[in-house]
Chain A
Amino acid sequence: MIFMLPVGVALAFYLARGPVRFRAVVEAVVMLPLVLPPVAIGVFLLALFGRGGLLAFLGFAGTWLGASAAAAAVALPVFVRVARAALEDVDPRLEGMASVLGASPLRVALTITLPLAGRGLLAAFTLALARALGEFGATILVAGAIKGDTETLPIAIYQAFEHRGEATALCLVAAGLAFALALASAWLSPRRSA
């Protein structure tokens, strides 16, 4: 998730404020994991990180780093969608005023846009976190299911399935976590009526 954040913020910025050119293409690519079956994402990631893959030297496959990569891939579109809306809600006239006062584009982003979109960005992050925690299909392909190492919550549920009680308990934990995160996200989201 930490890896995903700067990339996500940069992408959301581009989509909210960047040049119109290529925007649709970038948006489509970013949103791809949202509609692709997670298993397919796993296959893609494995092709990238697995034996003979372009990024095989990173040694992600079968490690917790691989699980993180899978989580990041599915969380990114969720984050970008919500974060973009938060950035678009910032009054562009305030940004214009900042630049008239002599601020560089970077300073405008850091001192005006990001702070004003802060709550929305946090909401985006929470929602993305919830999505990442639930990730299963891609993770099991890329990272496998090594107990105590790459064992994410959904994978633990899957493995505990033979013992019904344990699986149910884990499911309840998962549901509780997801509910808490979704609630936090909703609470953080900018209230339009306000």
Chain B
Amino acid sequence: MSLDFAIQVERGSFRLELALSVPAGVTVLYGPSGAGKSLTLGALAGLVPATGRIELEGASLAGVPARRRRVGLVAQEGLLFPHLSVRANLRYGGAERMDEVVSVLELGDLLDRKPGGLSGGERQRVALGRALLAAPRALLMDEPLAALDRARRARIVPYLRRVAASFGGPILYVTHALDEALALGERVCVIDAGKKVTEGAPLEVFGAPRSELVPRLSGFENVLALTVVEHVGGDGVTRARLGGVELVVPTSEAAAGERVFFGLAASEVLVAIEEPRGISARNVLPATIAEATADEGAVLLRLSLAGAELVARVVPSAARALALEPGRKVFAVVKTSSFRPLAV
């Protein structure tokens, strides 16, 4: 079960040209607004004319009208039919697995209401249920959480996970939120200006970015998957492991042994050539400079730690004064509060 496509779409002066293979599971399409993410979904759903090849489960969808493609679409604003009840909305594309979908998404209490009276989160759950009931072979989700505030987003993510786990087919999930991409994505494809920039596992794409675009979008050169060791009671900090290194990071809700994501901007990593003493920063980590590259008036240092890697950004004069060159033994210094939690 997979969705394979290589499509071209022209929209005035904008040209989208994207080839991607979406296997079963969640593939995140990540990129800035105007990159062509929604256009891609529109073309796959059959709502936007496109040339090229689209194959779903080995059968070609090119030229097939939208209503015969059997793909599910969940839009950012839900796009529920405002004149129909929730029940009629759900049944619009099919009602075969009505009871199951209603119970999985906990829609029972909403059935007789009109979309206008629903909260943003409820609306998205109905939109998701409606898409699933049409018995799609692939799911396309266009920033389904973007219109929701933080608390509502957190509440709907478990539903999305449940659906993703039980759906079994390819899911293409468009977002520009790093935390969503990490929480839901099994693979990530980054696009910009209608072209693919990079693709891979989320931590490959975000954690060791090979393009300048990714950290510029995400705000973090370092995206780290840490394993919680223990919460230090009362202090609001957590000890967590990254490879062979133990870090002190802000506390999260994750239990010991669980994996948590943190973002760390390269500019917040200090580099010292001697071990600093009497310093408030809780993380002082021995490291070796693996690589030094000039980057827009700064120097990016790739530091290798015991079984882990960090990127630091320093000004050229600091790099010169401290002779920060590949092979040099240094200490990476990071404040606890510089680690930003990336949980939805």
A residues contacting B by CB (< 8 A) are 91, 93-94, 96-104, 111-112, 115-116
CB contacts (< 8 Å) of A97 on chain B: these are 73, 75, 79, 81
Choice from A96, A101, A112, A115 contacting B134 with Cβ under 8 Å:
A101
Complex: how many Å from CA A104 to CA B92? 12
Query: Which of B14-22, B62-70, B228-236, B282-290 binds A?
Result: B62-70
Q: Are B46 and A100 in contact (CB under 8 A)?
A: yes
Report which residue of A99, A100, A112, A116 has the largest number of chain B beta carbons within 10 angstroms of its beta carbon: A100
Q: Are B79 and A102 in contact (CB under 8 A)?
A: no
Q: Are A101 and B47 in contact (CB under 8 A)?
A: no
Q: Return 14 A-B CB contacts under 8 Å, by A number.
A: A97-B79, A99-B47, A99-B66, A100-B47, A100-B67, A100-B69, A100-B72, A101-B92, A101-B130, A101-B131, A102-B93, A103-B93, A104-B67, A112-B81
Q: Are B94 and A102 in contact (CB under 8 A)?
A: yes
Query: B101 in the interface, Cβ–Cβ < 8 Å?
Result: no
What is the number of residues of chain B that contact chain A, defined by CB distance less than 8 Å?
Answer: 23
Q: Are A94 and B81 in contact (CB under 8 A)?
A: yes
Choice from B70, B75, B83 contacting A102 with Cβ under 8 Å:
B70
Min CB gap A17→B, angstroms = 14
CB contacts (< 8 Å) of A94 on chain B: these are 79, 81
Q: Kindly identify, within residues 18 to 59 of chain B, every residue whose CB is under 8 Å from any CB belonging to chain A.
A: 45-47
Query: B71 in the interface, Cβ–Cβ < 8 Å?
Result: yes
Q: Are B67 and A96 in contact (CB under 8 A)?
A: no
Query: B82 in the interface, Cβ–Cβ < 8 Å?
Result: yes
For the complex of A and B, the 4 pairs showing the least CB-CB separation, nearest first, are A101-B93, A99-B66, A96-B47, A99-B67
Q: Are B79 and A103 in contact (CB under 8 A)?
A: no
Q: Are B92 and A100 in contact (CB under 8 A)?
A: no
Q: Are A100 and B81 in contact (CB under 8 A)?
A: no
A116 with B82, Cβ < 8 A, contacts A99-B67, A101-B134, A103-B67 known: yes
Complex: how many Å from CA A99 to CA B69? 10
Complex: how many Å from CA A25 to CA B256? 73
CB contacts (< 8 Å) of B75 on chain A: these are 93, 97
